[in-house]
Structure 1
Amino acid sequence: MSVHKPGIKKVTTHQLQAMKERGEKISMLTAYDFTMAKVLDQAGIDVLLVGDSASNVMAGHETTLPITLDQMIYHAQSVVRGVDRALVVVDVPFGSYQGSSSEALRSSIRIMKESGGHAVKMEGGEEIADSVKRVLSAGIPVMGHLGLTPQSIYKFGTYSVRAKEEEEAKKLISDAKLLEELGCFAIVLEKIPSALAGEVAKAVKIPIIGIGAGPEVDGQVLVVHDMLGINKDFSPRFLRRYADLHTIMTDAVQGFIKDVKDRDFPNEKESY
């Protein structure tokens, strides 16, 4: 667990609320390990999401469904150790909160106690209201997640944009209001039309963080491996690549291989 260093002002749920109120946008990225978390935290990121996207990015699964609660706790522990400033939010994985509110509470307590994370995130609206209520009643901060909810991929059958139809758009707005009423401190909106996302951000007082939800929301989140260009297989419209680390890393590895084969590494200075 990270020991808080004096002089560093930690980001809290309260501060995120104040950021929305003064119109300052919130920056959020995923992190799954100590080294990356440390880099992102020192760069000044506001929120780190230990996402169940670790299932895809770190473990190579096709969906987020296979990752377990134990695996999520392991990733969260690693991230928390690397963080001095950012708020760390941990996804409650598929199958560990949908069954009942008591299961949701058990899972969330384990995440908080064993990882030292600062909040949990759960996907869904009205259908998980009891679970959200129960977790919040234990004093655990909850971030909601609406729109494209990847844990429900087999229900939707596609990763395409959600809430294009009026009925789904209405449900999305009422779900956002419900999550706010229950006491969620923020909501992630994934892959929904920009205008609707803006409408939701205005309809609730809590921060709305978008991914593929346009610029009218209160903050943005991306998967760090996509944003850094480590992962080249995924190019959705909403992704901006800020680096091409795939090429840089490939060149570095090939340079190492060449130097080893050519007997150029290690040289005299690099030997004892």
Structure 2
Amino acid sequence: MSSHAEPASPIPGTRRPLTLHRLHEMHAQGEKITMLTAYDATLARLADEAGCDTLLVGDSLGMLIQGRDSTLGVSLDDMVYHTRCVARGLAAGGGTAWLVADLPFGSYHESRDQAMRSSAALMQAGAQMVKLEGGGWTAEVVRFITERGVPICAHLGLTPQSVHALGGYRIQGRDAEAASRLR
């Protein structure tokens, strides 16, 4: 049973769709929020039917679906395609999960305008929120996008898009100084 719904009903489609307001409320109340990664309509529908609160169309599809050795080769077009697939799967089943889609490497790094165009493409494909990686340098981009109506999920810590700059996949923020930089 999902934490955002009334008790499970044998009647499909009786759960209420999760909203951004409800996500904020759940966070404020310390409720657990479930999230699974989905890349296609079938998995989206199954995860939603199982009561998952949020689904992420992750750029990890580069490694898990496309067979790449990192997420860096995933394009915005790839993300739009898989976001559409997941959104269709949710819609076909009367989905209630909140849909988040990753902004892939290079799709928001050049400018705020590029970030907005990329975010708009994912939202038009069915995302309800976009996720981006990075710390302080992204603050201006995040502010610009959210002021234009796009909810943002920021990703700190292990940031696969920075794999080469970090010297590999390494956990970040382990000591006080590194944790302070993340904050």
Could you say whether these structures have the same fold, taking a TM-score greater than 0.5 normalized by the shorter chain as the test?
A: yes
CA distance in 1, matches of 2:139, 2:31: 29
Residue 157 of structure 2 is aligned to residue 147 of structure 1: yes
How many angstroms does 1:166 deviate by? 2.5
CA offsets 1:233-256 (integer angstroms, 9 cap, x no match): xxxxxxxxxxxxxxxxxxxxxxxx
Q: 2:50 aligns with which of 43, 46, 57?
A: 43
One-letter identity of the residue aligned with 1:71: D
1:108 corresponds to which residue? 119
One-letter identity of the residue aligned with 1:104: A
- % of aligned pairs identical? 44
Residue 88 of structure 2 is aligned to residue 81 of structure 1: yes
Of the two structures, which has the highest relative contact order with CA contacts closer than 8 Å and spacing of 6 or more?
A: 2
One-letter identity of the residue aligned with 2:123: M
Q: Larger Rg: 1 or 2?
A: 1
TM-score (normalised: structure 1): 0.60
Indicate the SS of the match to 1:17. helix
CA distance in 2, matches of 1:23, 1:69: 34
One-letter identity of the residue aligned with 2:122: I
Runs of at least 5 residues in structure 1 that lack an aligned partner in the other structure: 174-272
CA distance in 1, matches of 2:170, 2:119: 29
Q: 1:91 aligns with which of 82, 102, 106?
A: 102
Residue 66 of structure 2 is aligned to residue 55 of structure 1: no
RMSD of equivalent CA atoms:
1.3
CA distance in 2, matches of 1:99, 1:122: 13
Indicate the SS of the match to 1:38. helix
1:225 corresponds to which residue? none
One-letter identity of the residue aligned with 2:171: V
Runs of at least 5 residues in structure 2 that lack an aligned partner in the other structure: 1-11
Moved over 4 A (4+): none
CA distance in 2, matches of 1:107, 1:81: 20
